[in-house]
């Protein structure tokens, strides 16, 4: 699967799991894994962004900060952050197949 589509799919599944009280811990792991795979593609030049520093910030959020926020149980803040993350993906990240 395309790394960016995988991020969006796992992100939407995570948001839904939090909103419905589903297994959001499992979905968070899948989302973080999708981000790690996309980071590998970005590092190879396969993904481009309009803001060069943003992929690192997104990577740190998804792999470090998000798991901590979820384990702390601050799900309301997590939902806001995830929805902002999705908006950022739509406006800033672009696939680049070179």
Domain chopping of the chain, boundaries? 3-92
| Average pLDDT across the chain, whole number | 88
The pLDDT of residue 48 is above 80: no
Kindly indicate the confidence band of residue 3, based on its pLDDT and cuts at 50, 70 and 90.
confident
**What's this model's pTM, rounded to 2 decimal places?**
0.87
Q: List the Cα angle 43/10/63 in 5-degree steps.
A: 50
Q: Considering the chain, what percentage of its residues have pLDDT values greater than 70?
A: 92
- 50-91 pLDDT tens trace: 777 778 888 999 999 999 999 999 899 999 999 999 988 877
Contact 35, 62 (CB under 8 A): yes
């Amino acid at each position: 699967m395309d790394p960016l589509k995988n991020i969006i799919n796992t992100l939407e599944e995570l948001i839904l799991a939090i909103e419905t009280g589903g297994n959001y811990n499992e979905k968070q792991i899948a989302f973080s894994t999708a981000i790690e795979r996309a980071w590998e593609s970005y590092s190879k030049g396969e993904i481009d962004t309009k803001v060069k520093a943003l992929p690192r910030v997104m990577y740190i959020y998804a792999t470090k900060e998000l798991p901590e926020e979820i384990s702390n149980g601050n799900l309301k803040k997590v939902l806001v952050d995830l929805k902002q993350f999705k908006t950022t993906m739509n406006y800033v990240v672009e696939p680049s197949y070179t």
